[in-house]
Chains A and B, each alone.
Chain A
Amino acid sequence: MSESNTAAFFRAEGTLINSGVLQAAAYMASQRAGMRERLLRFGQTALAAPIFGVLGQNDRALGNRVAHLSYRDISEDRVVVLAEEYVEDILKEKVLDSGLELMKKAKKDGHRIVVISEGISEIMEGVRPHLRYVDDLVCNRLEYKDHKATGRLLEPVVGGYDGGKWLKEYARKHEIDLERSVAFAGHGPDLLLLSSVGQPCAVNPDFTLRKAAKEADWPIMEFNA
Chain B
Amino acid sequence: MSISLHQEYDGKHVLLTGGTGFVGKVWLVMALMRLPNIARIYVLMRGKGRNVNDRWIKMVNENPAFRPLHELHGADLSRFIAERVEVVPGTLDSAQMSIEDSVADRLRENVDLIVNCAGLVDFNPDVRVAVSSNLDGSMHVADFAASCKKAAMIHVSTCYVAGTKDGFIPETIAETAPNGQPLDPEAEYVRLKEIIEETEAENESEETVRTLTEEVVARLEKRGYEPTEKRVSGTVGRLKAKRLREVMAQAGTDRAKELGWPNTYTYTKALAEMLTKVRYPNLRHTVLRPAIVESALSFPFPGWNEGFNTSGPLIYLAGTWFRHIPAKAGNPLDIIPVDLVVNGIFIAGAAVMRGEHEEVYQTGSSDRAFLPIDRLTELSALGHRQHLRKTGADRVEKLILSRWDALASDPEHVLNVSNIREVVFQVTRYLRHGRPEKIPREWKDEAESLAKSGDKAQRKLRQIEEVLDLFMPFTYDHYMVFEARALDKHPIDEPEFRFQPEDIDWRQYWLECHMPGLRRWCFPSQYENKETETYTPAVPFEMLEGESLAPIPNQAASEAAR
**Which residues of the partner chain A approach B386 to less than 8 Å between Cβ atoms?**
81
Q: CB-CB contacts of B363-401 with A at 8 A, as 1s and 0s?
A: 000000000000100110110011001000000000000
Within 8 A of A (CB), among B382-429: 382, 385-386, 389, 403, 405, 407
Known: A80-B507, A81-B511. A33 touches B389 (CB 8 A): no
Closest beta carbon of chain B to A10's beta carbon, Å: 30
**Which residues of the partner chain B approach A75 to less than 8 Å between Cβ atoms?**
375, 378
A77 touches B407 (CB 8 A): no
Task: Report if A195 contacts B (CB, 8 A).
Answer: no
Closest beta carbon of chain B to A224's beta carbon, Å: 29
Task: Report which of A34, A80, A85, A147 forms a contact with B375, defined as CB distance below 8 A.
Answer: A147
B381 touches A33 (CB 8 A): yes
Q: CB-CB contacts of A74-87 with B at 8 A, as 1s and 0s?
A: 01111011000100
Q: CA–CA, A76 to B375, complex, Å?
A: 10
Known: A75-B375, A77-B378, A77-B379. A33 touches B407 (CB 8 A): yes
**Which residues of the partner chain A approach B385 to less than 8 Å between Cβ atoms?**
81
Closest beta carbon of chain A to B64's beta carbon, Å: 28
A77 touches B403 (CB 8 A): no
Task: Report if A31 contacts B (CB, 8 A).
Answer: yes
Closest beta carbon of chain B to A170's beta carbon, Å: 31
B405 touches A34 (CB 8 A): yes
Q: CA–CA, A78 to B403, complex, Å?
A: 12
Within 8 A of B (CB), among A10-46: 31, 33-34
Closest beta carbon of chain B to A3's beta carbon, Å: 42
Q: CA–CA, A126 to B389, complex, Å?
A: 18
Tally of B interface residues using CB under 8 Å:
13
Q: CA–CA, A81 to B405, complex, Å?
A: 13
**Which residues of the partner chain B approach A78 to less than 8 Å between Cβ atoms?**
378, 382
Q: CA–CA, A80 to B407, complex, Å?
A: 18
Q: CA–CA, A85 to B389, complex, Å?
A: 10
Q: CA–CA, A81 to B386, complex, Å?
A: 8
Within 8 A of B (CB), among A42-61: none
B375 touches A33 (CB 8 A): no
**Which residues of the partner chain B approach A77 to less than 8 Å between Cβ atoms?**
375, 378-379, 382, 507
Task: Report which of A34, A81, A147 forms a contact with B382, defined as CB distance below 8 A.
Answer: A81
Closest beta carbon of chain B to A112's beta carbon, Å: 31
Closest beta carbon of chain A to B382's beta carbon, Å: 5
Q: CA–CA, A80 to B378, complex, Å?
A: 12
**Which residues of the partner chain A approach B405 to less than 8 Å between Cβ atoms?**
33-34
Q: Which of A34, A75, A77, A78 has the most CB of B within 10 A?
A: A77
Closest beta carbon of chain A to B330's beta carbon, Å: 10
Within 8 A of A (CB), among B463-504: none
**Which residues of the partner chain A approach B507 to less than 8 Å between Cβ atoms?**
76-77, 80
**Which residues of the partner chain B approach A76 to less than 8 Å between Cβ atoms?**
507
| Closest B residue by C-beta to A32 | B405
| Closest B residue by C-beta to A31 | B403
Q: CA–CA, A147 to B505, complex, Å?
A: 12
Q: Which of A34, A76, A78, A81 has the most CB of B within 10 A?
A: A81
Q: CA–CA, A85 to B382, complex, Å?
A: 11
Q: CA–CA, A76 to B511, complex, Å?
A: 14
**Which residues of the partner chain A approach B378 to less than 8 Å between Cβ atoms?**
33, 75, 77-78
Closest beta carbon of chain A to B316's beta carbon, Å: 18
**Which residues of the partner chain A approach B381 to less than 8 Å between Cβ atoms?**
33
Q: CA–CA, A86 to B385, complex, Å?
A: 13
Q: CA–CA, A75 to B381, complex, Å?
A: 12
Closest beta carbon of chain A to B53's beta carbon, Å: 48
Q: CA–CA, A147 to B510, complex, Å?
A: 15
Q: CA–CA, A147 to B507, complex, Å?
A: 11
**Which residues of the partner chain A approach B382 to less than 8 Å between Cβ atoms?**
77-78, 81
Closest beta carbon of chain B to A83's beta carbon, Å: 12
Q: CA–CA, A191 to B389, complex, Å?
A: 42
Closest beta carbon of chain A to B102's beta carbon, Å: 58
Within 8 A of A (CB), among B269-313: none
Q: CA–CA, A77 to B379, complex, Å?
A: 7
Within 8 A of A (CB), among B27-46: none
Within 8 A of B (CB), among A131-147: 147
Within 8 A of A (CB), among B239-267: none
Q: CA–CA, A78 to B375, complex, Å?
A: 10
| Closest B residue by C-beta to A80 | B507
Q: CA–CA, A78 to B510, complex, Å?
A: 13
Q: CA–CA, A78 to B406, complex, Å?
A: 13
Q: CA–CA, A80 to B386, complex, Å?
A: 12
Q: CA–CA, A80 to B375, complex, Å?
A: 14
**Which residues of the partner chain A approach B407 to less than 8 Å between Cβ atoms?**
33-34
Closest beta carbon of chain A to B324's beta carbon, Å: 10
**Which residues of the partner chain A approach B375 to less than 8 Å between Cβ atoms?**
75, 77, 147
**Which residues of the partner chain A approach B511 to less than 8 Å between Cβ atoms?**
81
Q: CA–CA, A34 to B403, complex, Å?
A: 9
Closest beta carbon of chain A to B35's beta carbon, Å: 37
Q: CA–CA, A81 to B382, complex, Å?
A: 7
| Closest A residue by C-beta to B381 | A33
**Which residues of the partner chain B approach A81 to less than 8 Å between Cβ atoms?**
382, 385-386, 511
Q: CA–CA, A199 to B224, complex, Å?
A: 99
Sample of 7 more A-B contacts, CB < 8 Å, known A76-B507, A78-B378: A33-B381, A33-B405, A80-B507, A81-B382, A81-B385, A81-B386, A85-B389
Residues of A whose CB lies within 8 Å of any CB of B are: 31, 33-34, 75-78, 80-81, 85, 147
A-B contact pairs, 6 of them (CB 8 A): A34-B407, A76-B507, A77-B378, A77-B507, A80-B507, A81-B385
Closest 10 CB pairs between A and B? A33-B405, A81-B382, A77-B507, A77-B379, A75-B378, A77-B378, A77-B382, A34-B407, A33-B407, A78-B382
